[in-house]
Amino acid sequence: MQHTLKTSVTFDGVGLHSGCDVTMTVHPAEAGHGIVFVRTDVTDSRAQAIAARWDAVVDTKLCTVIGNEDGVTLGTIEHLMAALRGCAIDNALIEINGPEVPVMDGSSVAFVEKFDETGFVRQDAPRRAIRVLKEVEVTVEGKKVALKPADIATFSGFIDFDHPLIGNQKYEIKLLNGNFRHDLADARTFGFAHEVEALRKMGLALGGSLDNAIVLDSEKVLNAQGLRYSDEFIRHKLLDAIGDLYLAGGPLLAAYEGEKSSHDLNNKLLHALFADDSAWEFVDAPADQVQAS
């Protein structure tokens, strides 16, 4: 069955790229509502609402940005979307007074902890999953993402960085019984110190700091507390993928494989999937993949 939150929950933080202070409140919503954001700071004649859907994505440069027909946008939604997927939340109305979801500590854990604290409501409507019926793949310049038929929602990934603390990393998770919480939720976004100046000249990473991202120089992690996992980098890549693919409009019943994946490739993969009506179908989600707690 579908789920929403028991009560509203509010988050205060800074936007990773915009540097703006933001307040965001996630409200319960009725069955069938889906995930919808509302930019409460937009007070002119433009529409405030933006549906969290794959076909609303308007930018994928370092984060996933969605927008509506009036050009109102919202950035860095992927960590929140991953938390919603990991907690099996189908329906929410999310009010936010800025252009970007607050980054919190660079992971999904702050969202997950508050969702668990407020609790969930089981709704009187079946949860629809999107079953992948045949392989769909997108390859760009040696980077590849794919969806394959599977009975359990599975995410696997591979990354390769020329850095002594990263190198080649692989990870796989089957999303069952809320295991997102303890396996991926606290894996943080990461970046390199030598890239920070260039990003800020592009108007990106203006709110980034050691409090909300793993930062590496050529040899080490600059964060005093170090890493949460030795493979935190690939875990975060899969967290991103889970958030990006929840823009499908429901949970995917499929095996995702990402080789050097990106927000851009993840969105292209959803476009490729939904461009082929024979590649997918709606089904009721299996019980062990529906639990919200």
Residues belonging to the active site: 263
Q: How far apart are CA 64 and CA 75, in angstroms?
A: 6
Phi and psi torsions of 292, nearest 5° = -95, -10
CA torsion sign, 205 to 237 to 233 to 239?
positive
Q: How far apart are CA 285 and CA 263, in angstroms?
A: 25
Helix (H) or strand (E) holding 129: strand 128-132
Q: How far apart are CA 62 and CA 263, in angstroms?
A: 7
In one-letter notation, the amino acid at residue 71 is G
SS3 149: strand
Phi and psi torsions of 287, nearest 5° = -60, -40
Beta pairing class for 280-284 and 128-132:
antiparallel
Q: How far apart are CA 20 and CA 39, in angstroms?
A: 14
